Chain A
Amino acid sequence: MMNILVCISCVPDTTSKINFTENDTEFDTNGVQFVINPNDEFGLTRAMWFKEQNDANVDVINVGEQENESVLRKALAIGADRAFRINKKASDSFQVAKLIANHIEGAQYDLIIAGRESIDYNGSMVPGMISELLNINFITNCVKLEINGQTVVADREIEGGIETLSCKLPIIIGGQKGLVEESDLKIPNMRGIMQSRQKPLEVVEPPEIQTKTTTNKFYKPEEKNEIKMVDSNDLDTLIDLLHNEAKVI
Protein backbone atom coordinates (compact mmCIF):
# COMPACT_ATOMS: atom_id res chain seq x y z
CA MET A 1 0.00 0.00 0.00
CA MET A 2 1.38 3.37 -1.01
CA ASN A 3 2.19 5.77 1.81
CA ILE A 4 1.58 9.40 0.79
CA LEU A 5 2.30 12.69 2.53
CA VAL A 6 0.71 15.94 1.35
CA CYS A 7 2.36 19.11 2.64
CA ILE A 8 -0.19 21.83 3.30
CA SER A 9 0.36 25.51 3.61
CA CYS A 10 -2.47 27.60 5.09
CA VAL A 11 -2.89 30.74 3.02
CA PRO A 12 -5.38 33.59 2.69
CA ASP A 13 -8.23 32.76 0.34
CA THR A 14 -7.39 33.94 -3.21
CA THR A 15 -10.05 36.68 -3.08
CA SER A 16 -8.50 38.25 0.04
CA LYS A 17 -7.50 41.88 0.13
CA ILE A 18 -3.97 42.03 1.47
CA ASN A 19 -3.32 44.43 4.37
CA PHE A 20 -0.65 44.69 7.00
CA THR A 21 -0.48 45.61 10.66
CA GLU A 22 2.14 46.24 13.42
CA ASN A 23 3.83 48.96 11.34
CA ASP A 24 3.61 46.82 8.22
CA THR A 25 5.60 43.99 9.77
CA GLU A 26 2.74 41.47 10.04
CA PHE A 27 0.03 40.28 7.69
CA ASP A 28 -3.36 41.52 8.85
CA THR A 29 -5.50 38.41 9.36
CA ASN A 30 -8.56 40.45 10.29
CA GLY A 31 -11.52 39.23 8.22
CA VAL A 32 -9.33 36.88 6.17
CA GLN A 33 -10.36 33.30 5.57
CA PHE A 34 -7.50 30.80 5.48
CA VAL A 35 -7.62 27.91 3.04
CA ILE A 36 -5.47 25.04 1.77
CA ASN A 37 -2.89 26.61 -0.55
CA PRO A 38 -4.35 26.07 -4.06
CA ASN A 39 -1.21 24.39 -5.43
CA ASP A 40 -1.32 21.94 -2.48
CA GLU A 41 -5.05 21.35 -2.94
CA PHE A 42 -4.49 19.95 -6.45
CA GLY A 43 -1.98 17.56 -4.87
CA LEU A 44 -4.38 16.53 -2.12
CA THR A 45 -7.06 15.56 -4.63
CA ARG A 46 -4.46 13.67 -6.71
CA ALA A 47 -3.48 11.78 -3.54
CA MET A 48 -7.16 10.91 -2.98
CA TRP A 49 -7.31 9.44 -6.47
CA PHE A 50 -4.32 7.18 -5.72
CA LYS A 51 -6.14 6.10 -2.58
CA GLU A 52 -9.34 5.37 -4.49
CA GLN A 53 -7.55 3.43 -7.24
CA ASN A 54 -4.95 1.42 -5.34
CA ASP A 55 -5.57 1.96 -1.68
CA ALA A 56 -3.10 4.25 0.03
CA ASN A 57 -2.52 5.92 3.35
CA VAL A 58 -2.67 9.69 3.00
CA ASP A 59 -1.14 11.89 5.69
CA VAL A 60 -1.19 15.68 5.66
CA ILE A 61 1.29 17.94 7.41
CA ASN A 62 1.46 21.64 8.21
CA VAL A 63 3.99 23.76 10.01
CA GLY A 64 2.03 26.35 11.94
CA GLU A 65 0.13 27.36 15.02
CA GLN A 66 -3.16 26.13 16.39
CA GLU A 67 -5.35 28.31 14.17
CA ASN A 68 -4.26 26.18 11.20
CA GLU A 69 -6.06 23.14 12.58
CA SER A 70 -9.35 24.03 10.89
CA VAL A 71 -7.58 23.82 7.53
CA LEU A 72 -6.06 20.46 8.48
CA ARG A 73 -9.53 19.23 9.56
CA LYS A 74 -10.75 20.20 6.12
CA ALA A 75 -8.02 18.05 4.56
CA LEU A 76 -9.16 15.17 6.79
CA ALA A 77 -12.76 15.80 5.74
CA ILE A 78 -11.68 15.60 2.10
CA GLY A 79 -10.32 12.14 2.89
CA ALA A 80 -6.82 12.29 4.36
CA ASP A 81 -6.26 9.65 7.07
CA ARG A 82 -4.03 11.46 9.54
CA ALA A 83 -2.88 15.01 10.09
CA PHE A 84 0.31 16.33 11.68
CA ARG A 85 0.81 19.87 12.82
CA ILE A 86 4.35 20.90 13.64
CA ASN A 87 3.75 23.50 16.29
CA LYS A 88 5.83 26.39 15.00
CA LYS A 89 4.95 29.65 13.34
CA ALA A 90 6.51 29.30 9.89
CA SER A 91 8.97 32.11 9.26
CA ASP A 92 11.52 30.76 6.80
CA SER A 93 11.35 28.16 4.00
CA PHE A 94 14.45 26.31 5.21
CA GLN A 95 12.96 25.97 8.68
CA VAL A 96 9.71 24.57 7.24
CA ALA A 97 11.58 22.20 4.91
CA LYS A 98 13.79 20.94 7.73
CA LEU A 99 10.85 20.32 10.07
CA ILE A 100 8.92 18.42 7.40
CA ALA A 101 12.07 16.48 6.44
CA ASN A 102 12.46 15.42 10.10
CA HIS A 103 8.93 14.02 10.00
CA ILE A 104 9.48 12.22 6.68
CA GLU A 105 12.70 10.59 7.89
CA GLY A 106 10.86 8.77 10.61
CA ALA A 107 7.96 7.66 8.43
CA GLN A 108 8.87 6.05 5.06
CA TYR A 109 6.71 7.79 2.51
CA ASP A 110 6.66 6.63 -1.13
CA LEU A 111 5.19 9.86 -2.43
CA ILE A 112 5.33 13.36 -1.01
CA ILE A 113 3.32 16.10 -2.66
CA ALA A 114 3.70 19.80 -1.97
CA GLY A 115 2.63 22.78 -4.04
CA ARG A 116 5.05 24.36 -6.49
CA GLU A 117 4.73 27.51 -4.32
CA SER A 118 2.46 28.97 -1.69
CA ILE A 119 0.39 31.93 -2.79
CA ASP A 120 1.41 34.04 0.24
CA TYR A 121 5.22 34.04 0.39
CA ASN A 122 5.71 32.55 -3.10
CA GLY A 123 9.08 31.10 -2.15
CA SER A 124 8.97 27.99 -4.41
CA MET A 125 11.46 26.39 -2.07
CA VAL A 126 10.10 23.89 0.44
CA PRO A 127 9.80 20.71 -1.68
CA GLY A 128 13.17 21.28 -3.40
CA MET A 129 14.88 21.79 -0.07
CA ILE A 130 13.29 18.64 1.37
CA SER A 131 14.49 16.65 -1.65
CA GLU A 132 18.07 17.79 -1.11
CA LEU A 133 17.93 17.27 2.67
CA LEU A 134 16.75 13.68 2.23
CA ASN A 135 18.31 12.93 -1.16
CA ILE A 136 15.04 11.94 -2.82
CA ASN A 137 13.93 12.62 -6.39
CA PHE A 138 12.13 15.90 -7.01
CA ILE A 139 9.95 17.10 -9.87
CA THR A 140 8.30 20.51 -9.69
CA ASN A 141 5.78 22.44 -11.80
CA CYS A 142 4.18 19.03 -12.12
CA VAL A 143 1.01 18.96 -14.25
CA LYS A 144 0.55 15.20 -14.59
CA LEU A 145 1.58 12.34 -12.34
CA GLU A 146 1.24 8.60 -12.91
CA ILE A 147 2.71 5.87 -10.73
CA ASN A 148 2.95 2.25 -11.80
CA GLY A 149 4.56 -0.05 -9.27
CA GLN A 150 7.78 1.75 -8.36
CA THR A 151 7.92 3.81 -11.56
CA VAL A 152 6.89 7.46 -11.69
CA VAL A 153 6.08 9.25 -14.94
CA ALA A 154 5.48 12.98 -14.53
CA ASP A 155 4.95 15.95 -16.81
CA ARG A 156 6.70 19.16 -15.88
CA GLU A 157 5.56 22.47 -17.33
CA ILE A 158 8.50 24.31 -18.86
CA GLU A 159 8.73 27.55 -20.82
CA GLY A 160 6.82 26.92 -24.03
CA GLY A 161 5.90 23.30 -23.45
CA ILE A 162 5.96 20.13 -21.42
CA GLU A 163 8.79 17.83 -20.42
CA THR A 164 7.99 14.22 -19.54
CA LEU A 165 10.25 12.73 -16.87
CA SER A 166 10.50 9.33 -15.24
CA CYS A 167 12.16 7.93 -12.15
CA LYS A 168 11.65 5.54 -9.27
CA LEU A 169 9.86 6.08 -5.98
CA PRO A 170 10.24 7.68 -3.52
CA ILE A 171 9.66 11.11 -4.97
CA ILE A 172 8.63 14.58 -3.90
CA ILE A 173 6.42 16.59 -6.23
CA GLY A 174 5.84 20.34 -6.56
CA GLY A 175 2.26 20.31 -7.80
CA GLN A 176 0.08 22.83 -9.58
CA LYS A 177 -3.12 22.99 -11.59
CA GLY A 178 -3.14 20.19 -14.15
CA LEU A 179 -2.21 17.56 -11.57
CA VAL A 180 -6.00 17.50 -11.38
CA GLU A 181 -8.42 19.98 -12.92
CA GLU A 182 -10.07 22.72 -10.91
CA SER A 183 -13.42 21.03 -11.49
CA ASP A 184 -12.04 17.75 -10.05
CA LEU A 185 -11.11 19.26 -6.69
CA LYS A 186 -12.65 17.28 -3.87
CA ILE A 187 -15.00 19.14 -1.56
CA PRO A 188 -15.80 17.72 1.88
CA ASN A 189 -19.23 16.12 2.19
CA MET A 190 -21.20 15.76 5.43
CA ARG A 191 -19.97 12.22 6.04
CA GLY A 192 -16.37 13.34 5.52
CA ILE A 193 -16.82 16.24 7.92
CA MET A 194 -18.29 13.95 10.61
CA GLN A 195 -15.47 11.43 10.16
CA SER A 196 -12.79 14.09 10.23
CA ARG A 197 -13.59 14.85 13.87
CA GLN A 198 -12.55 11.30 14.84
CA LYS A 199 -9.40 11.20 12.75
CA PRO A 200 -6.01 11.68 14.41
CA LEU A 201 -4.52 15.17 14.38
CA GLU A 202 -1.17 14.96 16.08
CA VAL A 203 0.63 18.06 17.33
CA VAL A 204 4.40 17.69 17.20
CA GLU A 205 6.67 19.93 19.26
CA PRO A 206 9.59 20.92 17.04
CA PRO A 207 13.28 21.24 17.78
CA GLU A 208 14.86 24.69 17.31
CA ILE A 209 15.93 25.21 13.69
CA GLN A 210 18.30 28.00 12.75
CA THR A 211 16.53 30.18 10.19
CA LYS A 212 18.43 31.53 7.20
CA THR A 213 16.12 34.37 6.17
CA THR A 214 13.73 36.85 7.75
CA THR A 215 10.86 38.88 6.36
CA ASN A 216 11.00 42.36 7.83
CA LYS A 217 8.50 44.72 6.31
CA PHE A 218 5.66 44.70 3.79
CA TYR A 219 4.62 47.25 1.21
CA LYS A 220 1.51 47.60 -0.85
CA PRO A 221 2.06 48.34 -4.54
CA GLU A 222 2.03 52.00 -5.51
CA GLU A 223 -1.30 53.37 -6.59
CA LYS A 224 -1.80 53.27 -10.33
CA ASN A 225 -2.10 56.44 -12.34
CA GLU A 226 -5.57 57.30 -13.54
CA ILE A 227 -6.57 55.24 -16.57
CA LYS A 228 -6.81 56.98 -19.95
CA MET A 229 -9.94 55.98 -21.82
CA VAL A 230 -9.92 55.88 -25.61
CA ASP A 231 -13.07 55.91 -27.71
CA SER A 232 -13.63 52.66 -29.59
CA ASN A 233 -14.03 54.68 -32.80
CA ASP A 234 -10.67 56.31 -32.32
CA LEU A 235 -8.19 53.45 -32.08
CA ASP A 236 -5.52 55.54 -33.82
CA THR A 237 -5.28 57.48 -30.57
CA LEU A 238 -4.65 54.25 -28.66
CA ILE A 239 -1.83 53.32 -31.05
CA ASP A 240 -0.41 56.82 -30.73
CA LEU A 241 -0.45 56.58 -26.90
CA LEU A 242 1.15 53.13 -26.91
CA HIS A 243 3.85 54.31 -29.29
CA ASN A 244 4.64 57.84 -28.13
CA GLU A 245 3.62 57.90 -24.48
CA ALA A 246 4.04 54.35 -23.19
CA LYS A 247 6.69 53.46 -25.81
CA VAL A 248 5.69 49.82 -25.88
CA ILE A 249 4.97 49.34 -29.59
Chain B
Amino acid sequence: MSILAYIESKNKKPKKNSFEVVSYAKELSKKLSTELIVLTINIDNHSNLEKYGPNKIISVNDIALNNFDAKTYADVVSQVATKFSISHIVLGGGVDSKYMAPMLSVKLDAGYLSNVVELPSNVEPFTVKRTSFSNKSFCDASILSDNKIISLASNSFSTIENPSNPEIIDFQVKASNSNIKQNSIDLVQGKVTIADADVVVSAGRGLKGPENWSIIEDLAETLGAATACSKPVSDLGWRPHSEHVGQTGKPVSTNLYIAIGISGAIQHLAGVSSSKVKVVINSDPEAPFFKAADYGVVGDAFEVVPELNEKIKAFKAENN
Protein backbone atom coordinates (compact mmCIF):
# COMPACT_ATOMS: atom_id res chain seq x y z
CA MET B 1 0.00 0.00 0.00
CA SER B 2 1.72 3.14 -1.29
CA ILE B 3 0.76 6.46 -2.84
CA LEU B 4 1.55 7.07 -6.50
CA ALA B 5 1.67 10.60 -7.88
CA TYR B 6 1.70 10.73 -11.67
CA ILE B 7 2.91 14.02 -13.08
CA GLU B 8 2.59 15.33 -16.61
CA SER B 9 5.57 16.55 -18.56
CA LYS B 10 6.15 19.11 -21.26
CA ASN B 11 9.40 19.26 -23.24
CA LYS B 12 10.87 16.59 -20.94
CA LYS B 13 10.26 18.71 -17.83
CA PRO B 14 7.56 18.43 -15.16
CA LYS B 15 4.55 20.64 -15.91
CA LYS B 16 3.96 23.55 -13.60
CA ASN B 17 1.22 21.87 -11.53
CA SER B 18 3.47 18.85 -10.80
CA PHE B 19 4.83 20.37 -7.61
CA GLU B 20 1.31 20.89 -6.25
CA VAL B 21 0.48 17.28 -7.07
CA VAL B 22 3.60 15.92 -5.37
CA SER B 23 3.11 18.19 -2.33
CA TYR B 24 -0.47 16.99 -1.93
CA ALA B 25 0.54 13.36 -2.36
CA LYS B 26 3.33 13.78 0.22
CA GLU B 27 0.87 15.14 2.80
CA LEU B 28 -1.45 12.26 1.98
CA SER B 29 1.34 9.73 2.43
CA LYS B 30 2.08 11.19 5.88
CA LYS B 31 -1.57 10.96 6.80
CA LEU B 32 -1.69 7.32 5.73
CA SER B 33 1.79 6.53 7.13
CA THR B 34 3.00 5.13 3.86
CA GLU B 35 5.54 5.97 1.18
CA LEU B 36 5.18 8.29 -1.77
CA ILE B 37 6.22 7.11 -5.22
CA VAL B 38 6.33 9.62 -8.07
CA LEU B 39 5.97 8.39 -11.63
CA THR B 40 7.53 10.39 -14.43
CA ILE B 41 7.35 9.60 -18.12
CA ASN B 42 10.14 10.94 -20.33
CA ILE B 43 11.47 13.48 -17.85
CA ASP B 44 15.26 14.05 -17.90
CA ASN B 45 15.90 15.76 -14.63
CA HIS B 46 14.14 14.95 -11.37
CA SER B 47 15.92 17.39 -9.07
CA ASN B 48 12.99 19.83 -8.91
CA LEU B 49 10.68 17.05 -7.81
CA GLU B 50 13.00 15.90 -5.04
CA LYS B 51 12.27 19.10 -3.12
CA TYR B 52 8.73 17.92 -2.43
CA GLY B 53 9.48 14.68 -0.65
CA PRO B 54 9.08 11.55 -2.79
CA ASN B 55 10.52 8.34 -1.30
CA LYS B 56 10.98 6.87 -4.75
CA ILE B 57 10.85 8.19 -8.28
CA ILE B 58 9.96 5.76 -11.00
CA SER B 59 11.40 7.01 -14.23
CA VAL B 60 9.93 5.62 -17.43
CA ASN B 61 11.73 6.55 -20.62
CA ASP B 62 10.41 5.27 -23.91
CA ILE B 63 10.27 7.02 -27.28
CA ALA B 64 6.98 5.21 -27.91
CA LEU B 65 5.56 7.50 -25.19
CA ASN B 66 6.71 10.79 -26.69
CA ASN B 67 3.18 11.73 -27.72
CA PHE B 68 0.53 11.55 -25.03
CA ASP B 69 -2.05 8.87 -25.78
CA ALA B 70 -4.64 8.38 -23.05
CA LYS B 71 -5.05 4.64 -23.45
CA THR B 72 -1.33 3.89 -23.70
CA TYR B 73 -0.55 6.13 -20.73
CA ALA B 74 -3.36 4.58 -18.66
CA ASP B 75 -1.79 1.23 -19.44
CA VAL B 76 1.65 2.42 -18.27
CA VAL B 77 0.32 3.93 -15.03
CA SER B 78 -1.67 0.77 -14.41
CA GLN B 79 1.43 -1.44 -14.90
CA VAL B 80 3.37 0.70 -12.40
CA ALA B 81 0.48 0.73 -9.91
CA THR B 82 0.20 -3.05 -9.99
CA LYS B 83 3.96 -3.67 -9.78
CA PHE B 84 4.44 -1.33 -6.79
CA SER B 85 1.27 -2.27 -4.84
CA ILE B 86 -0.26 1.17 -5.11
CA SER B 87 -3.46 1.88 -3.17
CA HIS B 88 -3.93 5.61 -3.93
CA ILE B 89 -3.12 7.45 -7.16
CA VAL B 90 -2.94 11.24 -7.17
CA LEU B 91 -3.21 13.10 -10.48
CA GLY B 92 -3.19 16.76 -11.48
CA GLY B 93 -6.12 18.50 -13.11
CA GLY B 94 -4.55 18.85 -16.56
CA VAL B 95 -6.51 17.81 -19.65
CA ASP B 96 -4.28 14.79 -20.29
CA SER B 97 -4.61 13.39 -16.76
CA LYS B 98 -8.37 13.89 -16.82
CA TYR B 99 -8.54 12.16 -20.22
CA MET B 100 -6.64 9.16 -18.88
CA ALA B 101 -8.10 8.87 -15.36
CA PRO B 102 -11.49 7.26 -16.09
CA MET B 103 -9.82 4.57 -18.21
CA LEU B 104 -7.30 3.96 -15.46
CA SER B 105 -10.05 3.69 -12.87
CA VAL B 106 -11.76 0.88 -14.80
CA LYS B 107 -8.44 -0.93 -15.39
CA LEU B 108 -7.59 -0.89 -11.68
CA ASP B 109 -11.15 -1.32 -10.43
CA ALA B 110 -10.61 1.91 -8.51
CA GLY B 111 -13.13 4.52 -7.42
CA TYR B 112 -12.18 7.90 -8.86
CA LEU B 113 -12.99 11.45 -7.73
CA SER B 114 -12.01 14.52 -9.75
CA ASN B 115 -11.61 18.23 -8.87
CA VAL B 116 -10.43 17.53 -5.33
CA VAL B 117 -9.54 20.68 -3.36
CA GLU B 118 -8.38 19.45 0.06
CA LEU B 119 -6.62 16.60 1.84
CA PRO B 120 -9.01 13.86 2.97
CA SER B 121 -11.07 14.79 6.02
CA ASN B 122 -11.42 11.11 6.79
CA VAL B 123 -9.35 8.08 5.86
CA GLU B 124 -11.98 5.37 6.36
CA PRO B 125 -14.08 5.79 4.35
CA PHE B 126 -11.69 7.90 2.30
CA THR B 127 -13.49 11.26 2.10
CA VAL B 128 -12.39 14.38 0.23
CA LYS B 129 -13.86 17.77 -0.58
CA ARG B 130 -14.33 18.49 -4.30
CA THR B 131 -16.00 21.13 -6.40
CA SER B 132 -19.46 20.51 -7.81
CA PHE B 133 -22.13 22.33 -9.79
CA SER B 134 -19.37 23.96 -11.87
CA ASN B 135 -17.78 25.70 -8.88
CA LYS B 136 -21.11 26.98 -7.56
CA SER B 137 -20.68 24.56 -4.63
CA PHE B 138 -18.43 21.99 -3.00
CA CYS B 139 -19.23 18.50 -1.79
CA ASP B 140 -17.72 15.81 0.41
CA ALA B 141 -17.42 12.55 -1.46
CA SER B 142 -16.06 9.14 -0.47
CA ILE B 143 -14.34 6.37 -2.36
CA LEU B 144 -15.55 2.95 -1.28
CA SER B 145 -13.26 0.66 -3.27
CA ASP B 146 -9.83 -0.57 -2.11
CA ASN B 147 -7.99 1.16 -4.94
CA LYS B 148 -8.49 4.90 -5.14
CA ILE B 149 -7.76 7.61 -7.69
CA ILE B 150 -8.14 11.35 -7.22
CA SER B 151 -7.37 14.29 -9.48
CA LEU B 152 -6.81 17.73 -7.99
CA ALA B 153 -8.54 20.93 -9.02
CA SER B 154 -5.99 23.37 -10.44
CA ASN B 155 -4.32 25.80 -8.06
CA SER B 156 -6.19 24.47 -5.04
CA PHE B 157 -3.22 23.19 -3.04
CA SER B 158 0.00 25.04 -2.22
CA THR B 159 3.43 23.55 -2.74
CA ILE B 160 5.16 22.42 0.43
CA GLU B 161 8.92 21.90 0.39
CA ASN B 162 10.00 18.68 1.99
CA PRO B 163 13.42 17.79 0.56
CA SER B 164 14.18 14.11 0.21
CA ASN B 165 16.77 11.92 -1.35
CA PRO B 166 14.62 9.51 -3.29
CA GLU B 167 15.67 6.28 -4.85
CA ILE B 168 15.39 6.64 -8.63
CA ILE B 169 14.15 3.51 -10.33
CA ASP B 170 14.41 3.17 -14.09
CA PHE B 171 11.38 1.19 -15.07
CA GLN B 172 10.76 -0.56 -18.36
CA VAL B 173 7.19 -0.79 -19.54
CA LYS B 174 5.50 -2.46 -22.44
CA ALA B 175 3.87 0.46 -24.21
CA SER B 176 0.80 -0.87 -25.97
CA ASN B 177 0.05 0.33 -29.47
CA SER B 178 -2.78 2.80 -29.71
CA ASN B 179 -5.58 2.64 -32.23
CA ILE B 180 -5.67 6.44 -32.24
CA LYS B 181 -3.13 8.26 -34.37
CA GLN B 182 -1.98 11.82 -33.80
CA ASN B 183 -2.15 13.58 -37.17
CA SER B 184 -0.95 16.98 -36.04
CA ILE B 185 -0.70 19.32 -33.12
CA ASP B 186 -1.28 23.02 -33.39
CA LEU B 187 -0.07 25.09 -30.45
CA VAL B 188 -0.49 28.82 -30.17
CA GLN B 189 3.05 30.15 -30.05
CA GLY B 190 4.41 32.73 -27.66
CA LYS B 191 1.27 33.02 -25.53
CA VAL B 192 0.65 32.01 -21.95
CA THR B 193 -2.11 29.40 -21.72
CA ILE B 194 -5.00 29.77 -19.29
CA ALA B 195 -3.96 26.51 -17.61
CA ASP B 196 -0.42 27.76 -16.96
CA ALA B 197 -1.20 31.37 -16.11
CA ASP B 198 -0.87 33.00 -12.69
CA VAL B 199 -2.77 35.99 -14.03
CA VAL B 200 -5.65 36.04 -16.52
CA VAL B 201 -6.91 39.18 -18.24
CA SER B 202 -10.41 38.62 -19.51
CA ALA B 203 -12.78 40.84 -21.46
CA GLY B 204 -16.40 40.89 -22.49
CA ARG B 205 -18.84 42.64 -24.77
CA GLY B 206 -17.94 45.93 -23.12
CA LEU B 207 -14.98 45.98 -25.51
CA LYS B 208 -17.48 46.57 -28.35
CA GLY B 209 -15.60 44.61 -31.02
CA PRO B 210 -12.69 42.26 -31.73
CA GLU B 211 -10.64 45.11 -33.19
CA ASN B 212 -10.35 46.61 -29.71
CA TRP B 213 -8.59 43.65 -28.13
CA SER B 214 -5.11 45.15 -28.41
CA ILE B 215 -5.56 46.96 -25.06
CA ILE B 216 -6.36 43.59 -23.44
CA GLU B 217 -3.40 41.87 -25.08
CA ASP B 218 -1.06 44.72 -24.09
CA LEU B 219 -2.12 44.50 -20.45
CA ALA B 220 -1.80 40.71 -20.53
CA GLU B 221 1.69 40.97 -21.96
CA THR B 222 2.77 43.41 -19.25
CA LEU B 223 1.46 41.04 -16.56
CA GLY B 224 2.70 37.85 -18.24
CA ALA B 225 -0.96 36.86 -18.28
CA ALA B 226 -3.17 34.68 -20.42
CA THR B 227 -6.11 36.30 -22.22
CA ALA B 228 -9.66 35.05 -21.82
CA CYS B 229 -13.19 36.18 -22.66
CA SER B 230 -16.85 35.87 -21.77
CA LYS B 231 -19.27 33.49 -23.48
CA PRO B 232 -21.02 36.10 -25.69
CA VAL B 233 -17.64 37.21 -27.02
CA SER B 234 -16.69 33.67 -28.08
CA ASP B 235 -20.21 33.03 -29.44
CA LEU B 236 -19.92 36.17 -31.56
CA GLY B 237 -16.63 34.87 -32.91
CA TRP B 238 -14.65 37.83 -31.61
CA ARG B 239 -12.31 35.47 -29.77
CA PRO B 240 -11.58 31.71 -30.05
CA HIS B 241 -13.62 29.23 -27.99
CA SER B 242 -10.47 28.21 -26.18
CA GLU B 243 -10.62 31.58 -24.39
CA HIS B 244 -14.23 31.20 -23.22
CA VAL B 245 -14.36 31.16 -19.45
CA GLY B 246 -17.41 29.98 -17.54
CA GLN B 247 -19.69 27.08 -16.82
CA THR B 248 -19.68 25.69 -20.38
CA GLY B 249 -16.19 26.96 -21.16
CA LYS B 250 -13.07 26.72 -19.08
CA PRO B 251 -12.87 27.13 -15.35
CA VAL B 252 -10.13 29.55 -14.26
CA SER B 253 -8.35 29.00 -10.95
CA THR B 254 -5.70 31.63 -11.13
CA ASN B 255 -4.11 33.93 -8.56
CA LEU B 256 -5.36 37.11 -10.23
CA TYR B 257 -8.34 37.41 -12.58
CA ILE B 258 -8.99 40.79 -14.18
CA ALA B 259 -12.45 41.09 -15.76
CA ILE B 260 -12.89 43.99 -18.15
CA GLY B 261 -16.28 44.89 -19.58
CA ILE B 262 -17.81 41.64 -18.31
CA SER B 263 -21.10 42.12 -16.49
CA GLY B 264 -20.80 38.85 -14.56
CA ALA B 265 -23.54 36.40 -15.54
CA ILE B 266 -23.97 33.59 -13.00
CA GLN B 267 -22.38 31.09 -15.41
CA HIS B 268 -19.28 33.25 -15.80
CA LEU B 269 -18.97 33.84 -12.06
CA ALA B 270 -19.13 30.08 -11.47
CA GLY B 271 -16.24 29.57 -13.87
CA VAL B 272 -13.94 32.01 -12.10
CA SER B 273 -15.08 31.55 -8.50
CA SER B 274 -12.01 29.54 -7.52
CA SER B 275 -9.62 32.29 -8.67
CA LYS B 276 -8.00 33.88 -5.64
CA VAL B 277 -8.21 37.61 -6.37
CA LYS B 278 -10.68 39.18 -8.77
CA VAL B 279 -10.54 42.70 -10.16
CA VAL B 280 -13.48 44.11 -12.09
CA ILE B 281 -13.32 47.06 -14.45
CA ASN B 282 -16.72 48.05 -15.77
CA SER B 283 -18.49 51.24 -16.80
CA ASP B 284 -21.74 50.05 -15.21
CA PRO B 285 -21.61 50.38 -11.41
CA GLU B 286 -24.59 47.97 -11.21
CA ALA B 287 -22.75 45.13 -13.00
CA PRO B 288 -23.32 41.96 -10.91
CA PHE B 289 -19.61 41.12 -11.11
CA PHE B 290 -18.86 43.84 -8.54
CA LYS B 291 -20.67 41.74 -5.93
CA ALA B 292 -18.32 38.81 -6.53
CA ALA B 293 -14.99 40.64 -6.85
CA ASP B 294 -12.26 41.80 -4.48
CA TYR B 295 -11.38 45.09 -6.16
CA GLY B 296 -13.47 47.19 -8.50
CA VAL B 297 -13.03 50.18 -10.75
CA VAL B 298 -16.02 51.91 -12.31
CA GLY B 299 -14.83 53.45 -15.54
CA ASP B 300 -14.48 53.31 -19.29
CA ALA B 301 -12.30 50.34 -20.25
CA PHE B 302 -10.81 52.29 -23.16
CA GLU B 303 -9.42 54.84 -20.71
CA VAL B 304 -8.77 52.72 -17.62
CA VAL B 305 -7.05 49.74 -19.25
CA PRO B 306 -4.32 51.59 -21.22
CA GLU B 307 -3.60 53.78 -18.20
CA LEU B 308 -3.45 50.78 -15.89
CA ASN B 309 -1.10 49.09 -18.35
CA GLU B 310 1.29 52.07 -18.36
CA LYS B 311 1.23 52.30 -14.59
CA ILE B 312 1.90 48.58 -14.11
CA LYS B 313 4.76 48.80 -16.62
CA ALA B 314 6.28 51.66 -14.63
CA PHE B 315 5.68 49.77 -11.37
CA LYS B 316 7.36 46.65 -12.73
CA ALA B 317 10.32 48.64 -14.06
CA GLU B 318 10.77 50.19 -10.63
CA ASN B 319 10.39 46.98 -8.66
CA ASN B 320 12.58 44.66 -10.71
> Residues of A at under 8 Å CB distance from B?
12, 14-15, 17-18, 20, 27, 38-39, 93-94, 97, 119-129, 131-133, 137-141, 143, 153, 157-168, 176-178, 181-183, 211-221, 224-225, 227-232, 235-236, 238-239, 241-243, 246, 248-249
Contact = CB atoms under 8 A, between A and B. Distances in A.
B285 to A, nearest CB: 9
B180 A137 contact: yes
Contacts of B70: 128, 138, 140
Interface of B: 70-71, 74, 94-96, 98-103, 105-107, 110-115, 125, 127, 129, 131-145, 179-188, 191, 193-196, 198-199, 223, 231, 234-235, 241-242, 244, 247-249, 255-256, 265-267, 273, 276-277, 279-280, 290-300, 303-304, 307-308, 311-312, 315-316, 319
Given A161-B186, A212-B112, A124 B98 contact: yes
A236 to B, nearest CB: 6
B131 A122 contact: yes
Given A125-B112, A159-B95, A249-B256, A14 B266 contact: yes
Given A129-B105, A164-B182, A177-B241, A232 B143 contact: no
A15 B266 CA distance: 6
B296 A123 contact: no
A139 B256 CA distance: 32
Contact of B296 (A94, A119, A132, A228): A228
A93 B102 contact: yes
Contact of B99 (A119, A141, A182): A141
B180 A165 contact: yes
Contacts of B110: 212
B143 A228 contact: no
Contact of B303 (A211, A215, A232): A232
Contact of B312 (A137, A216, A230, A249): A249
Given A94-B111, A216-B140, A230 B101 contact: no
